[in-house]
């Protein structure tokens, strides 16, 4: 018998050494544990040592296992009889290193030892059920574990003593048996942790402006450029040209600007279109703060040898009226000019009459008379060659030469 036990122990040691690394039975699971056991009986029972079987059903907690264990052994007795042991115990196992490859445990249990003798019984008081205390130690050698299913499988070995409440012979020592067992323990039903969501791929910032690509509404911002929360370059005056390129910061809201962020000045007179009351000023003319030339040429049409203003002149004259009435500091002289055809004296009188006609038109439209003079210049101040039709047309002109009061 000792030789068989040594072989069994050697086989168990070899199996433990060859096991793959695996975590122990998971906490919060149920388990079953079938075992083959070997019972060394107390010598006072006058019974042989014998193999038997055991089965346990239990629950694993963080540091403890609690189980209900049933075992059966039927050794021979002196005198040619036998005794059947049907034992039921409630056991506590204090488990150490539950998540290690090998988890040792201490065993403590209480239960009933129920012997049934048959044949010639050598004992007085046979078939007496009695209470017993179990104590010992064991080990769980973990074979496999599946955390996704909350299960595990372990090789279970243990050795423990059984101290019975009965004495044999009467008034003698308490009966004490020893049990060794080896088997499997299968755990299932442990809580399964929800799989952690896959980590989101890191969000980059390709243009390095401090705004992640998933939020950047203006990718490709030049390095070092100040941006807003959307990753777009700043446009402080809201003119549609970013500050980095804006050569005219502080443009009023709603103003039309060019690619440099500057307000448009179509006639290039230095007064932006937004406030220019005299668009298309001739190049080089000196203008006032509203973009009007100090020498304002008026498109006035007369019949030949007449000082009567033709209706097609009214639009241009009304522009002069608006200019004079919106700025009460302006005064001016209406100058009449002719080309060189005709005598000097005639052209002087004709230019004077025409200048006075224009002055009167402006007065009739609301310009105070005290702010207007009329002077005929005749042909004395040509601005083009009178030898050509085009030159003579340029010389026939009416000017509003403005002054400030």
Classify residue 380: in a domain, yes or no: yes
Q: Supply the CATH number for residue 110's domain.
A: 2.40.160.20
Beta partners for 297? 399
Percentage above 90 pLDDT, the chain: 33
Q: Are residues 141 and 252 in the same domain?
A: no
Residue entry with tokens 């100090």: 294
Q: Are residues 137 and 177 in the same domain?
A: yes
pLDDT above 90: residue 235 = no
Q: Are residues 49 and 95 in the same domain?
A: yes
Instruction: For residue 65, report the phi and psi dihedrals to the nearest 5 degrees.
Output: -115, 140
Beta partners for 64? 94
Q: Are residues 9 and 143 in the same domain?
A: yes
pLDDT for res 216? 84
Q: Band the pLDDT of 404: cuts 50, 70, 90.
A: low
Instruction: Report angle CA 339, 344, 347 to the nearest 5 degrees.
Output: 55
pLDDT above 50: residue 2 = no
pLDDT for res 17? 44
pLDDT above 60: residue 323 = yes
Q: Are residues 135 and 15 in the same domain?
A: yes
Farthest CA pair distance, the chain: 174
Give the C-alpha separation, 266 to 248, whole Å.
16
Classify residue 144: in a domain, yes or no: yes
CA distances from 73 to 51, 118, 168, 201 (A): 6, 14, 19, 63
Classify residue 326: in a domain, yes or no: yes
Q: Show which of 247, 263, 279 is a domain's final residue.
A: 263
pLDDT above 80: residue 265 = yes
Mean pLDDT value across residues 208-237? 85
Write the DSSP assignment of 338-361 as a string of letters: --SSS-HHHHHHHHHHHHHHHHHH
Q: Are residues 110 and 26 in the same domain?
A: yes
Give the DSSP H or E segment for 315.
Answer: helix 314-325
Distance, CA of 68 to chain centre:
53
pLDDT for res 169? 57
Q: Are residues 304 and 180 in the same domain?
A: no
Q: Band the pLDDT of 117: cuts 50, 70, 90.
A: confident
**End-to-end Cα spacing for the chain:** 138
Residue entry with tokens 């709603």: 254
Q: Are residues 32 and 172 in the same domain?
A: yes
CA distances from 202 to 81, 198, 211 (A): 79, 12, 13
Span of 70-79, 113-122, 183-192, 382-391 with lowest mean pLDDT:
113-122
Question: Over the stretch 25-57, which tens digit does the pLDDT of each residue have?
Answer: 888 899 999 999 999 998 888 889 999 999 999
Classify residue 177: in a domain, yes or no: yes
Q: Are residues 96 and 21 in the same domain?
A: yes
Instruction: Give the neighbor-by-neighbor strand order of the sheet with 330-337.
Output: 295-298, 397-404, 330-337, 372-378
The answer to whether the CB of 85 falls within 8 A of the CB of 72 is: yes
Class of residue 370 by CB neighbours under 10 A (exposed 0-12, middle 13-18, buried 19+): exposed
Question: Over the stretch 65-109, which tens digit does the pLDDT of each residue have?
Answer: 999 999 999 998 877 788 899 999 999 999 999 888 899 999 999
Q: Are residues 309 and 350 in the same domain?
A: yes
Classify residue 254: in a domain, yes or no: yes
Position with higher pLDDT, 398 vs 91: 91
pTM of the model: 0.47
Classify residue 196: in a domain, yes or no: no
Q: Show which of 188, 211, 246 is a domain's final residue.
A: 188
- CA torsion 12-15-21-24 (nearest 10°) is -30
The two three-digit tokens of residue 39, written as one number: 């019972």
pLDDT above 60: residue 8 = no
Classify residue 90: in a domain, yes or no: yes
Question: Over the stretch 190-211, which tens digit does the pLDDT of each residue have?
Answer: 888 777 777 777 888 888 888 8
Q: Show which of 223, 247, 263 is a domain's final residue.
A: 263
Contacts of 58 (CB under 8 A, 6+ apart): 30, 31, 32, 33, 65, 66, 67, 68, 91
For the chain, the domain total comes to 3
Q: Are residues 79 and 165 in the same domain?
A: yes
Classify residue 110: in a domain, yes or no: yes
- In which domain, by residue range, is 137 found? 2-188
Question: Over the stretch 275-296, which tens digit does the pLDDT of each residue have?
Answer: 888 887 777 777 777 777 766 7
pLDDT for res 145? 87
Question: Over the stretch 123-172, which tens digit does the pLDDT of each residue have?
Answer: 544 566 789 999 999 999 988 888 888 899 999 999 999 998 876 655 45
Q: Are residues 242 and 327 in the same domain?
A: no
pLDDT for res 122? 52
Mean pLDDT value across residues 222-226? 84
């Amino acid at each position: 018998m000792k030789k068989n036990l040594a072989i069994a122990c050697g086989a168990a040691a070899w199996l433990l050494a060859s096991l793959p690394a695996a975590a122990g039975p998971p906490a919060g699971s149920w388990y079953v544990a079938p075992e083959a056991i070997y019972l060394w009986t107390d010598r006072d029972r006058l019974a042989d040592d014998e193999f038997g079987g055991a089965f346990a059903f239990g629950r694993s907690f963080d540091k403890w296992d609690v189980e209900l264990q049933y075992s059966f052994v039927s050794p021979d007795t002196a005198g040619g009889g036998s005794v059947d042991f049907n034992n039921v115990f409630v056991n506590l196992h204090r488990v150490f290193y539950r998540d290690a490859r090998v988890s040792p445990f201490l065993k403590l249990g209480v239960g009933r030892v129920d012997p049934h003798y048959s044949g010639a019984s050598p004992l007085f008081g046979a078939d007496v059920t009695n209470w017993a205390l179990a104590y010992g130690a064991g080990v769980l050698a973990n074979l496999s574990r599946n955390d996704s299913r909350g299960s595990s499988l372990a090789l279970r070995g243990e050795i423990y003593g059984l101290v019975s409440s009965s004495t044999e012979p009467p008034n003698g020592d308490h009966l004490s048996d020893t049990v060794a067992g080896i088997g499997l323990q299968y755990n299932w039903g442990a809580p399964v942790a929800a799989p952690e969501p896959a980590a989101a791929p890191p969000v980059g910032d390709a243009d390095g402006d401090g705004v992640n690509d998933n939020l950047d509404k203006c990718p490709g911002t030049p390095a070092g450029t100040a941006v807003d929360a959307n990753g777009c370059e700043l446009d402080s005056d809201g003119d549609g040209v970013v500050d980095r390129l804006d050569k005219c910061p502080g443009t009023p809201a709603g103003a039309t600007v060019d690619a440099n962020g500057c307000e448009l000045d179509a006639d290039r007179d230095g007064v932006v279109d937004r406030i220019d009351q005299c668009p298309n000023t001739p190049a080089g003319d000196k203008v006032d703060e509203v973009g009007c030339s100090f020498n304002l040429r008026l498109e006035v049409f007369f019949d030949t040898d007449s000082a009567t203003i033709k209706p097609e002149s009214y639009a241009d004259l009304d522009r002069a009226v608006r200019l004079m009435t919106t700025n009460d500091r302006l005064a001016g002289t209406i100058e009449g000019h002719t080309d060189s055809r005709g005598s000097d004296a005639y052209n002087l009188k004709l230019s004077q009459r025409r200048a006075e006609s224009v002055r009167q038109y402006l007065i009739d439209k609301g310009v105070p008379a005290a702010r207007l003079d009329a002077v005929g210049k005749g042909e004395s101040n040509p601005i083009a060659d009178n030898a050509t039709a085009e030159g003579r047309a340029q010389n026939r002109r009416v000017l509003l030469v403005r002054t400030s009061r």
